[in-house]
Amino acid sequence: MQYGIAIFPDRSVQDEANNWRIRYDPHYCHIPAHMTLRDPEEWNKATLEAAIRHLEQVATAFQPFTVHFNRVSTFFPVNHVLYFALEDPTPVENLHNAICGGPLALYEERYVFTPHVTIGQNMASDELHDIYGNLRLRELSLTSHIDRFHLLYQTEQGGWTSYQSFLLGEAPQAQ
């Protein structure tokens, strides 16, 4: 089964992102606006169990934090993606680095990790440049309190749903 790890920002950030995603993001129907912490990959039961133990430890080591999205940016020419960018990505980068260690260590990342909320992707170059030209002139100031991250799995219909949530700064509940 495919598993991934993400942060869902506050509803106000998701609503603003969805104003653009509904038209420019083909994954709009499959997952809410989010920040990917670890790209999806196939895991077996043993990997899933080790991942959960690791993610519980990571969550207890981090305190909740606040992020501020202050601009629209793009990954062009590497990818035709538009996104909300963070003023200071350090807290999310630190969380990503901790998650992608231990049993979830990444030996080769496809891209430099850049925390963001995608608002458009898989766009033609002309469309991307037109929309980006307009959006980069607009003022953006969105804040989100981050107090958890989520282990997600992909359903047979292609959507993503939460398998387990991990609260930052809290010890896991005994089961």
Q: Fold for domain 2-167?
A: Cyclic Phosphodiesterase; Chain: A, (3.90.1140)
Read off the pTM.
0.93
Section 118-123 average pLDDT: 95
Higher local confidence (pLDDT), 26 or 173: 26
Say yes or no to pLDDT of 94 above 80.
yes
How many percent of the chain have pLDDT more than 90?
87
CA dist., res. 175 & res. 3, Å (int): 22
The residues annotated with a catalytic role in the active site are: 34, 116
Residues 51, 161 contacting (CB under 8 angstroms):
no
Structure tokens at 84: 């909300």
CA dist., res. 173 & res. 11, Å (int): 26
* In the chain, where the domains are located: 2-167
> Model confidence over 27-80: pLDDT tens digits?
999 999 999 999 999 999 999 999 999 999 999 999 999 999 999 999 999 899
Helices 11-24 and 125-135: crossing angle in degrees, nearest 10, is: 150
Q: How confident is the prediction for the chain on average, in pLDDT?
A: 94
What is the per-residue pLDDT for 8?
98
What is the per-residue pLDDT for 174?
55
Place of tokens 């609260």: 167
What is the per-residue pLDDT for 81?
96
